[in-house]
Amino acid sequence: MERMSNSFKSLINRPDFKDRFNGLKNQVLNNSEVQAFLTKHAAEIEEGMVERSLVKLFEFVNQSKNCEQCPSLSQCKNLLEGYHPRLVIQGRIIDLQYDKCPTKEAHDERKKHESLIKSMYIPKDILAAQLDQIDVEMDETSRFKALSLAQDFVEQYNSGKRPKGLYLYGSFGVGKTYILGAIANELASHKISSMLVYVPEFMRELKGSFQNSSLDQKVDVVKKVPVLMLDDIGAESMSSWMRDDILGTILQFRMLENLPTFFSSNFDHKQLQHHLSYSQRGEEEPVKAARIMERIKHMAIPIELTGRNRRG
């Protein structure tokens, strides 16, 4: 605004002011949007109002409207990035009101969407996956089943139910993590927040923060998020402490609070149970493993994903 009124002031001080003033006025009055506004509000336009409002009208004419002149938000040419002007009658003058432009609206909407998906150690492309864009090949009935259950989950959750999650298992590269990412995105578009956690890295990091307070905070977030997705469970090397005190506690809490949880794994139930039975020290603890498995089975519907390896 400052720039505009300064240039206007210097204009007034010049000897050829009158010509320039008229030139400016013509430029403003020839603008089709200004004309449309004046026609629409003809009854309210008082004598001298246009002249009194010339600075504002000039500013209006020179700003981009509906993003017509700006290639992107960061290249927005307007005085206030992401806002475009609208003409309004304000007392005895025509004034401007600045509203969010379409690009800024879309940008803010996207940010809000992203803020609904939290993740730990998950690649970016996974977070861009879209449920309705996942291609299903003719022979991939398991993928089709997984996608339709995922869709059911979102619909039911959205209508206030707390359905079971999915336990997606199958070999490396079939697209388990990708489907979890797509579900997270679909949930976000219904304003439901979720968190996707790559378990091996999460466990590694927790080991590092063993005796520090950030551990409790990290575990707390994972425990309480509305929808949790534990990616690649079974690929970690898990101590008894992590299995019982971390994973066990998280699952116990979520089960009691009825908070849906998804899993992906290279292992089926039986293989995962075996993996969880052996501590890093080589001791066999089948009862404790069985207790974790019970919770997992209670919380998620198992689906085997088959098909080709989609990694490059």
The site for Mg ion (CB under 5 A) is made up of 177
Please say which residue, 181 or 260, places its beta carbon nearer to ligand ADP: 181
Among 125, 213, 258, 270, binds ligand ADP (CB under 6 A): 125
- Answer yes or no whether residue 308 interacts with ligand ADP by CB under 6 A: no
In DSSP notation, 169-233 reads E-STTSSHHHHHHHHHHHHHHTT--EEEEEHHHHHHHHHHTTTSTHHHHHHHHHHH-SEEEEETT
**Smallest separation (angstroms) from ligand ADP to the CB of 256:** 29
In DSSP notation, 13-62 reads TSTTHHHHHHHHHHHHHT-HHHHHHHHHTGGG--TTHHHHTHHHHHHHHH
- Answer yes or no whether residue 132 interacts with ligand ADP by CB under 6 A: no
- Residue 18: name its binding partner from Mg ion, ligand ADP, none (Cβ under 5 to 8 Å by kind): none
Instruction: Report CA 28 to chain centroid distance, whole Å.
Output: 42
Strand 261-265 versus strand 227-231 pairing type: parallel
Residue 179: name the closest of 239, 78, 73, 263 by CA.
Answer: 263
Stretch of residues binding ligand ADP (CB under 6 A), selected from 59-67, 150-158, 170-178, 268-276 = 170-178
- Residue 310: name its binding partner from Mg ion, ligand ADP, none (Cβ under 5 to 8 Å by kind): ligand ADP
Please say which residue, 18 or 311, places its beta carbon nearer to ligand ADP: 311
Please say which residue, 56 or 176, places its beta carbon nearer to ligand ADP: 176
Q: What separation, in Å, do the N-terminal and C-terminal C-alpha atoms of the chain show? A: 53
Among 36, 114, 172, 191, binds ligand ADP (CB under 6 A): 172
**Smallest separation (angstroms) from ligand ADP to the CB of 267:** 12
Q: Which two tokens stand for residue 258?
A: 């009825």
* Binding positions for ligand ADP, rule: CB under 6 A: 125, 134-135, 172-178, 264, 310-311
